[in-house]
Amino acid sequence: MAACLTQNPANFLSDGKKIVGVALNYMDVVKARNVPVPKEPLVFLKPTSSYLREGQPIIIPKVFSKVAYEVELGVVIGKPCKNVSKARAMDYVAGYCLALDLTAQCHLGPARASGHPWTLGKGFDTSTPVSEFIPIKEVKDPHNLSLWLTVNGVEKQKGCTADLVFNVPDIISYVSQYMTLEPNDLILTGTPDGADAFKAGDVIECGLGDLATLKFDVCSE
């Protein structure tokens, strides 16, 4: 049995090998938490086993007591990318997606306090719901897109990618100093203010400009 990896970014969910997230990357979050503006992007990894397509439920693992939504702009890489300048970084972008970066705050909080890795709190199965691929030609300006999220119809997050601390080329250039970004890798650019816990039985809906919407049921493991 062999599965064929394509260079077609429409298949990023099945063919990508890494997901690179950025934390604390919206100015409204920095202000709300009254913390210093990060000097460099706070970069973490999620495994591709965490991807979820619309139509399947978000499953809260039984090992977790508090899991939060984070609505984000995803960036899909189109070409191998190492040590690229900010000026050239957008040449390596194939397109975008709408994504959720679900986060087990019950695990991440204690992990951070202990200096431990973020992996389990960020990397659990179904923690990265994503939309279909959006080709770059359909997006006039990735830094002027609205992001919104509702839980059971009630608005919980409302932001704009204009408010990013590190924008798309900043992130690509920075990460590519450390690791090669490969075709179909996904970058999660961070979430605006309002991320909070959800529970089994909730319905989460979110949107990215007029480009994509997503709707997920939530159940417990």
Residues in region 106-125 near its own copies by CB under 8 A:
111-113, 115-120, 123-125
179 binds, among Mg ion, its own copies, none (CB under 5 to 8 A by kind): its own copies
Nearer Cβ to its own copies (56/152): 56
Backbone φ and ψ for 208, nearest 5 degrees, come out as -130, 105
- DSSP, collapsed to helix, strand or coil, labels residue 37 as coil
Angle, alpha carbons 149-52-198 (nearest 5°):
40
- Minimal distance in Å, beta carbon 211 to its own copies? 27
Pairing of strands 146-151, 58-60: unpaired
Single-letter amino acid, residue 39: K
- Minimal distance in Å, beta carbon 68 to Mg ion? 9
Task: Identify the residue among 119, 146, 167, 220 touching Mg ion (CB under 5 A).
Answer: 119
Spacing of C-alpha 184 from chain mean position: 14
What is the DSSP-derived secondary structure letter of residue 183? T
Distance CA 164, CA 167 (A): 6
Give the DSSP per-residue string, 198-210. E-TT-EEEEEETT
Distance CA 186, CA 189 (A): 9
Surface-to-core class of residue 2, CB atoms within 10 Å of its CB (0-12 exposed, 13-18 middle, 19+ buried): exposed
Stretch that binds Mg ion, among 37-45, 104-112, 158-166, 212-220 (CB under 5 A): 37-45
Binding mask 38-67 for its own copies (x = CB under 8 A): ----xxxxxxxxx----------xxx----
Nearer Cβ to its own copies (175/218): 175
Residues in region 128-157 near its own copies by CB under 8 A:
none
Task: Identify the residue among 79, 82, 88, 199 touching its own copies (CB under 8 A).
Answer: 82
Q: Should residue 194 be labelled a site residue for its own copies when binding is judged by CB under 8 A? A: no
Task: Identify the residue among 37, 65, 88, 178 touching its own copies (CB under 8 A).
Answer: 178
150 binds, among Mg ion, its own copies, none (CB under 5 to 8 A by kind): none
59 binds, among Mg ion, its own copies, none (CB under 5 to 8 A by kind): none
